[in-house]
Amino acid sequence: MGATKQVEPVSSVLKVFGILQALAEQREIGITEIAQRLMMSKSTVYRFLQTMKMAGYVSQEDDTEKYTLTLKLFELGSKALEHVELISLADKKMRELATKTGEAMHLGALDEDAIIYIHKIDSRYNLRMYSRVGRRNPLYSTGIGKVLLAYRDEAFVRDALKDVEFIAHTNNTITDVEQFIEELAKVRDEVVGEDREEQEEGLRCLAVPVFDRFGVVIAGLSISFPTIRFEQSRRDEYVSMLHQAASSLSDSLGFHDYPQPVRTSSEVS
């Protein structure tokens, strides 16, 4: 193999992070001092700071005209750390379930108007779902998407889907927002979202919510099956295993009141 190609750094990006570093090291700092530290012109520092101010990452004191960091960077860092902690905690549970069932396990989070896979454990079988960490899929046709939205208010759901084109991936795909909202009520009742060959023909998926310490659904935990290996008679068993894992995971994240199903598949079938 050849040597790894070196990518030239983007100077403006380096300057932004240099300014952020200077702001992090001193609570309030002026343009002149930042310019001297970073050996940049004051006009350049001013332009960067004003842009960062408009983006909400920097604020300016009225009396001193000095600059300080806002909490927006903290919020971004907290989200990243939250996912790191979540993945670390979820990995053991997912591996246990993968060992018991032999099937693929996924952990997905909300990414604007889609889901994004943040962790996965592959099936032991050759015939398996194709997926990868970082891949995005629709909210309306996936089990994870359903549990991510089921515990949000209707206004949030409609806003998340307002620019989404409902594509009929299969004959089973929900293609209407009203029908999807009705489906979310069923998801809340059973505390499970199901993809009934809605995203891909020949593939079934069961997903349950994972809650953070504030009771917000931070992720969906799912198991995926090719339809030829999915046993309807064992559906409630699979759901129960998922609930136990997700309840334990939510408990580790500080949420101790995991919802109980008000009906099961046998009651609604």
As a whole-number percent, the residues of the chain with pLDDT over 70 amount to 88
What's the confidence (pLDDT) of residue 269?
Answer: 45
60-69, 75-84, 227-236, 257-266: which range is least confident on average? 75-84
Phi, psi of 223 (to 5 degrees): -125, 135
Of the residues 32, 47, 70, which one is the last residue of a structural domain? Answer: 70
Is the pTM of the predicted complex or chain greater than 0.85? no
Average pLDDT over residues 38-42: 90
What's the confidence (pLDDT) of residue 6?
Answer: 60
What's the confidence (pLDDT) of residue 258?
Answer: 96
Question: Which range of residues forms the domain containing residue 125?
Answer: 77-268
| Residue 34 included in any domain | yes
In which band, very low, low, confident or very high, does the pLDDT at 4 lie, cut at 50, 70 and 90?
very low
What's the confidence (pLDDT) of residue 268?
Answer: 47
What's the confidence (pLDDT) of residue 25?
Answer: 84
Q: Is 210 left (phi over 0), alpha (psi -120 to 50) or beta?
A: beta
Number of compact structural domains in the chain: 2
pLDDT digits (tens, 9 = 90+) for 152-170: 999 999 999 988 889 899 9
Mean pLDDT of the chain: 86
CATH code of 52's domain = 1.10.10.10
What's the confidence (pLDDT) of residue 112?
Answer: 83
Beta bridge partners of 220: 108, 209
What's the confidence (pLDDT) of residue 1?
Answer: 44
Average pLDDT over residues 233-261: 93
| Residue 3 included in any domain | no
Of the residues 27, 51, 70, which one is the last residue of a structural domain? Answer: 70
| Residue 110 pLDDT greater than 70, yes or no | yes
pLDDT digits (tens, 9 = 90+) for 124-154: 876 556 666 778 899 999 999 999 999 999 9
| Residue 5 included in any domain | no
CATH code of 137's domain = 3.30.450.40
In which band, very low, low, confident or very high, does the pLDDT at 251 lie, cut at 50, 70 and 90?
very high
Q: How crowded is the C-beta side of 98, counted as CA atoms within 13 Å?
A: 19
Do 149 and 228 reside in the same domain of the chain?
A: yes
**Cα 172 to Cα 251: distance, rounded to the nearest angstrom:** 35
Contact 49, 58 (CB under 8 A): yes
**Cα 218 to Cα 37: distance, rounded to the nearest angstrom:** 40
Do 190 and 113 reside in the same domain of the chain?
A: yes
Do 88 and 211 reside in the same domain of the chain?
A: yes
Single-letter amino acid code for the residue at 63: D
2-11, 174-183, 208-217: which range is least confident on average? 2-11
